[in-house]
């Protein structure tokens, strides 16, 4: 629902909308390095 509102708001004011997903790596086991292998998309 928030995304729908954000899209409508951005369209109304001709603004750009940036979406970002944040992963807090502090919650993962430090002994499993493969969990830290993430792809960064520009």
DSSP characters over 20-38: -----GGGS-TT-GGGG--
Q: Could you state, in order of their start, the residue ranges of all structural domains in the chain? A: 18-42
Q: What is the pTM of this model?
A: 0.49
Compare 5 and 37 and report the one with higher pLDDT.
Answer: 5
Check if the beta carbon of residue 23 is closer than 8 Å to that of residue 38.
Answer: yes
**Quick one: which of 27, 26, 23, 28 has its CA closest to 40?**
23
**In the structure, what pLDDT confidence band is assigned to residue 33 with cuts at 50, 70 and 90?**
low
Q: In the predicted model, what is the mean pLDDT of residues 8-35?
A: 82
What's the CA gap between 13 and 41, in Å, rounded? 26
CA distance between the termini of the chain:
25
**φ, ψ for residue 10, nearest 5 deg:** -65, -40
pLDDT averaged over every residue in the chain: 81
């Amino acid at each position: 629902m928030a995304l729908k509102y954000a899209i409508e708001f951005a369209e109304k004011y001709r603004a750009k909308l940036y979406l970002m997903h944040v992963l807090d790596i502090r919650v993962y086991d430090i002994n499993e390095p493969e969990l830290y292998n993430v792809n960064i998309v520009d």
